[in-house]
Chains A and B, each alone.
Chain A
Amino acid sequence: MLETDRIQLHKLVEEALPELDMMIGWTESCDPLQTTPVFIRDAKLISKLTLGPFCSQNLAGYLVKPPALESVPKDAKPIGICVKGCDSRSLVALIQEKFISRDRVRIFGIPCRGTIDWRKVAQRVGLSDVKSATVEDDFLVIDASGTTHRIGLEDVLARKCLGCRYPNPIIQDVLVGQVATPRSSSLETTYRDVDALDNKPIEERLAFWQSELDRCIRCYACRNACPLCVCQDKCIAETREPRWLTQRVGLPEKFLFHFIHAMHLAGRCTGCGECERVCPMDIPVTLIKEKLNKIMEEMLGYSAGLDPDGVPPLLTFNPGETEI
């Protein structure tokens, strides 16, 4: 099935490429468990495009972070981009906030059956040499250090995928493959990890975040990978004039940085999980934003990235607000 989808994708991109400035998609990398983003202008490279559960990166951020679009003139042809369900929500949010206009992008929507978290694979087969990884039906088949492992796909999916309500793109110009069934249809499933933590006594919660955030090295990968962290080089966590945060690496600085990140994403975060995926120290930083997302849904009935014409609650002012 994956192979059919891949062939369909290649065909669609081939047809579209002459009308595109470039195509952003995924291709295989040196790591069998992860793809790498690829930017295609040359038709010869189209065959390198891939899709499927190893395509974990959210590509939407490349549209707004330099030097991607900046160098492309405003009247240039549109940019083609592959999006999974969650990635499409980032696109919607960027369109809402007018960072990109809808007609500048040609969206190749990819219904998604979940992406693989390499860390969960490592927990099962160790971090020894993974030579190859393929998906056969509902199994991940791994050849590592001369042994073949068959692991149920559900066991190694990314945390966000287990609570995914929107595996099918919210917007697209073309759809590649068959429509997928959502894994979750309720707030309880989607926010089960938030609830589990919330049910613990406050001391335990504090201890949890202290021990998790203590590992943070302030590499800012979480911020840079976030498609909606658009301040990027101007982020107040790093500005030198004025200097809001010290260079120290104590817990208070780490907390502060993460709260800045989370607060700037309030009502904007679409839960794509990139911040957590990219963290070299395996800190569940998306969880902080999930908590805010849950509050948004419960208090304001708002979920980011679902309606290109919608206005995020913190970007609007309603004097007659009844919900708060």
Chain B
Amino acid sequence: MAVKIFIATDRLDSVLEKLSTKIDLWIPALLKDDKSGPTGFVPYEPGKAVAFDRQTTMSLKKVLLPQVETLLRFEYRKEPEGAINSTLAVEDRREARPTLVFGARPCDVRALTTLDRVFSNGPYVDPYYTERRKNTLFATLVCRQTDAKCFCSSVGGGPADMEGSHLRIVRTDDGYIVEALTKEAQSLLDNLGDAPDASREKQAAEIVEEVSRRRVGDLDTEGSAEAFRKRFEQTDYWVQMVSQCLSCGVCTYVCPTCYCFSITDEAENLKGERLRSWDSCMFYHYTLEASGHNPRPTKLERYRNRVGHKFSYIPERYEGLLGCCGCGRCIRSCPVSIDIRQVVGHLKENTNE
């Protein structure tokens, strides 16, 4: 069984095509015909070019947590006798197919540890997420495209971090070396290519070694949970940090660790579906109560929640785990350049002022 193969750059597409016959394959790709345009994960199609040159605009969370999914279908059936009586038929069939995400980044895969705690590790197990999660493998790039917005090493990860990954991809001068890190991933590499020669193997080892030493980002999150609590009621702090926020859904939708969702029944006549869709704590309706009262009436309370959830509530609840993987997407895509590192970083400064 192959554990490590070399794929020459110009053979990548044919290898992916072969791979896609073994397993459902997702790849990072351009979403627009513009090499610097927005990118995201899409199901593989022959000829579709992978966008390996930078982190994707949208994270891979949608592979496990689609923006919209049908939880169940329902139908009211009228009894022939007496139109008043009806029965309710419910169908909640779901299917999780073996899937491989080829070209994930370490930050994205690490983000799943947060999602796992919420959806899979009890006390409530979400079968939709959990079944997909069990059936999905990740082939992760050793990341060499760090930019000024990345801070994965500050939050427990790193650009060569392979925790949670099943295969490691190292991009060398003339191709890719793909190595199985788990037993279940080994068979995927069968008949896809030859083992790398010694010089390529050496280059790959050097790259891994060099990237592993990099420390990306310098945010210090130590003590932020408590600092956040102290800041909670200091309105001035939030006014100062996020008055420019537009309360849009960009940061939460691009974020790989934001998982909040809404459930709606959408029916026409007697038939309908129960949908689960992404929600955002930056939206007004997120906390709107039936009475009309909204405990988070403005963007200040909403943004405060986003920071608090990631850097205070989650760590307090889950033994220090952070709700942020440091991918920097929210910083990169925010239309008014809000930098979560700054907001978190300043929490601890002169908390008593």
Contacts and interface: CB of A to CB of B under 8 A. Distances in A.
Interface in A228-242: 232-233, 238, 240
Interface residues of B, number: 50
Chain A contact residues (Cβ within 8 angstroms of B): what range?
Answer: 35 or more
Interface stretch (A26-34, A101-109, A164-172, A183-191): A26-34
Interface stretch (B126-134, B177-185, B248-256, B307-315): B248-256
A113 B125 CA distance: 56
B83 interface: no
A18 interface: no
Interface string B247-274: 1111001100000001010100000000
Nearest to A39: B243
B336 A127 contact: no
Contacts of A180: none
B266 A247 contact: yes
B67 interface: yes
Interface in B331-347: 331, 333, 335-339, 341-342
A225 B37 contact: no
A30 B249 CA distance: 20
Given A30-B149, A36-B336, A248-B68, A281 B38 contact: yes
Nearest to B32: A282
B298 A247 contact: no
Contact of B38 (A130, A246, A280): A280
Interface of A: 29-31, 34-39, 57, 62, 66-68, 119, 122-123, 126-131, 215, 217-221, 223-225, 232-233, 238, 240, 243, 246-249, 277-278, 280-282
Given A37-B244, A238-B283, A246-B266, 11 more contacts: A30-B339, A67-B297, A123-B35, A123-B36, A126-B53, A217-B249, A218-B249, A233-B284, A249-B67, A249-B277, A281-B57
Interface of B: 31-32, 34-38, 53-54, 57-58, 67-68, 145, 147-149, 239, 243-244, 246-250, 253-254, 262, 264, 266, 275, 277, 280, 283-285, 288, 297-300, 331, 333, 335-339, 341-342
3 closest residue pairs by CB, A with B: A278-B335, A29-B337, A219-B249
